[in-house]
Amino acid sequence: MGYSIVFHSLGLGLLLQLTFDQEYVLTPKTSRNVRIAEELGLPMKKVEVCPGRVVAVITWVGSRPELKSVVLNSHTDVVPVYEGHWKYDPFAAVKDADGNIYGRGSQDMKCVTIQYIEAIRRLKAAGKRFSRTIHLTFVPDEEVGGHKGMETFVKLPEFHKLNIGFALDEGLANPTNAYTVFYGERNPWWITVRCPGSPGHGSRFVENTAAEKLQRVINSFLEFREKEKHRLNISECFTLGDVTTVNMTMVKGGMAYNVVPAEMDVSFDLRIPPTVNLQEFEEKIKAWCKEAGEDVTYDFAQKHMDQNFTCTEESDPWWHAFSSTCKAMNMTVKKEIFPAATDSRFIREEGLPAIGFSPMNLTPILLHDHNEYLNEQVFLRGIQVYERLVPALASVPPLSGEE
Ligand SMILES: [Zn+2]
């Protein structure tokens, strides 16, 4: 059983149909991928990164194909819905009287996928050609961690053959008139702290219990949580991406009312900005554990150590092309660290610059939420934005080492 999403771009003749299987991952419907590539008059390649997981790459070769390329990346999967909470069928792309188009993926990130395609279509129709090659990459699996998508793709020779200089990927909506641009992401650390203790009968004052140690561990993590929350609240320029968030997400231990347990464990989800010294931060965690008890240990279920972020100095030719285009279109741009995780982190881990940008201003952030929508005016304006951005990026003069 598949779900179907259809977007009509209102008099622009755009119709894009993407079908999702039960895991909400794009099924390799060759006919549709091929149709879009054929309509654009561009070749398409498919790379099966894992069994049943296909990355599609549509390529517009530049006049100087030896130069590094520009990648327009989008993921093809969406998250599930609670259908009862939606005003309209979340897979019918209903437009209301205000021009708001409702649909799962309308913000995350069908809008951007279609805007890329439409911008390329218009530029081609206008007879344009640029020095740098442009690749449109359509990647599965982002919403479930990217393991069977971008994380694997970046390790394959097919990825390296793309000869990437710069990548655009998804961002977030901004409720104000400004556009948010993401140049880095926080590192997720998922940690479990194990507190052993003396077991015994529940009727006595057992010394050195697991519960006392657990309490000290929780106190240390949550005191730090409060400090970070305070730092965010008192700062005018900080956003969520600039501080470390801490949440206690799991507690395990105990077997009966009258048995003092031999171990209790607690797990935390930490998200750490790239500006934090990760070695020092881990020392801090070590110290909290030691204070809680000599035998308290910890281990990681996930520990990302990538501190790459993309240069946003005006001297950087890619950033300059991006930001000067925005300026020329009177767009206000706000630079931020992405608070969660996207496929951009895998691209940056390869040492490549990537900017997270979804041109959605004046729009509430509704990704993964009920009643996700995007207004048609914002959507159509986004196509114009890419019509200017893509030429600027694909015309960045040869960099040192490229000639
Ligand atoms: Zn997304």
pLDDT of residue 11: 28
Does 329 sit behind a cis peptide bond, omega within 30 degrees of 0 on the bond before it? no
> Measured in whole angstroms, how far is the alpha carbon of residue 233 from the centre of its chain?
24
From ligand 1's centre to the CA of 337, what distance in Å? 15
Tens digits of residue pLDDT in 178-237: 999 999 999 999 999 999 999 999 999 999 999 999 999 999 999 999 999 999 999 988
CB-count burial class (<10 Å; 0-12, 13-18, 19+) for 264: buried
Task: Quote the tokens at residue 348.
Answer: 């940056």
The CA 176 to ligand 1 mean position distance, Å, reads 20
Tell me, what's the pLDDT at 259?
Answer: 97
Q: How far apart are CA 136 and CA 158, in angstroms?
A: 14
Q: How far apart are CA 354 and CA 164, in angstroms?
A: 10
Catalytic residues: 77, 142
Label residue 23 by pLDDT band (50, 70, 90): very low
Q: Known binder of ligand: residue 147?
A: no
Per-residue pLDDT of 231-245, as tens digits, reads: 999 998 899 999 999
User: How does DSSP classify residue 262?
Assistant: S
The answer to the question of whether 143 is labelled as a binding residue is yes
Q: What angle do CA 230, 172, 162 make, to 5 degrees?
A: 125
Task: Identify the pLDDT of residue 284.
Answer: 98
Q: Is 170 annotated as a binding residue?
A: yes
Find the 15 Cα to ligand 1 centroid distance in Å. Answer: 21
Q: Tell me how far apart the alpha carbons of residues 161 and 179 are, in angstroms, rounded to a whole number.
A: 32
Strands 263-272, 200-201: pairing is: unpaired
Distance 367 CA to ligand 1 centre (A): 8
Q: What is the dihedral of CA 54, 60, 62, 67, to 10 degrees?
A: -10
Ligand 1 centroid to 265 CA: how many Å? 32
* Dihedral angle of Cα 36, 39, 42, 43, to the nearest 10 degrees: 50
30 pLDDT band, cuts 50/70/90, is low
Please state, as a whole number, how many other Cβ atoms lie within 10 Å of the Cβ of residue 39: 11
In the chain, what are the domains? 12-185+309-394 (3.40.630.10), 187-272+275-303 (3.30.70.360)
Phi, psi of 277 (to 5 degrees): -75, 110
The answer to whether 91 touches 103, Cβ cutoff 8 Å, is yes
Ligand 1 center to 146 CA (angstroms): 11
Residue 399 — φ and ψ, nearest 5°? -85, 165
Q: 14-28, 116-130, 169-183, 369-383: which has the minimum mean pLDDT?
A: 14-28
Q: What is the DSSP string of 205-229?
A: --SS-HHHHHHHHHHHHHHHHHHHH
The model's confidence at residue 25, banded by pLDDT at 50, 70 and 90, is very low
pLDDT band at 33 (very low <50, low <70, confident <90, very high): confident
* Distance from Cα 283 to the centre of ligand 1, integer Å: 33
Instruction: For residue 185, say whether it is annotated as part of any ligand binding site.
Output: no
Of the candidates 279, 335, 331, the one whose C-alpha atom is nearest the C-alpha of residue 310 is: 335
In percent, how much of the chain has pLDDT > 70?
92
Query: What is the structure's pLDDT at 340?
Result: 85
Nearest to 389 by CA among 329, 325, 310, 308: 325
How far does Cα 77 stand from its chain's mean position? 12
| Structural contact between residues 163 and 69, judged by C-beta atoms closer than 8 angstroms | yes
Sign of torsion over alpha carbons 343, 345, 350, 354: positive
Is 387 marked as binding a ligand?
no
Q: What's the pLDDT score for residue 325?
A: 98
pLDDT in tens, 328-345: 999 999 999 998 889 999
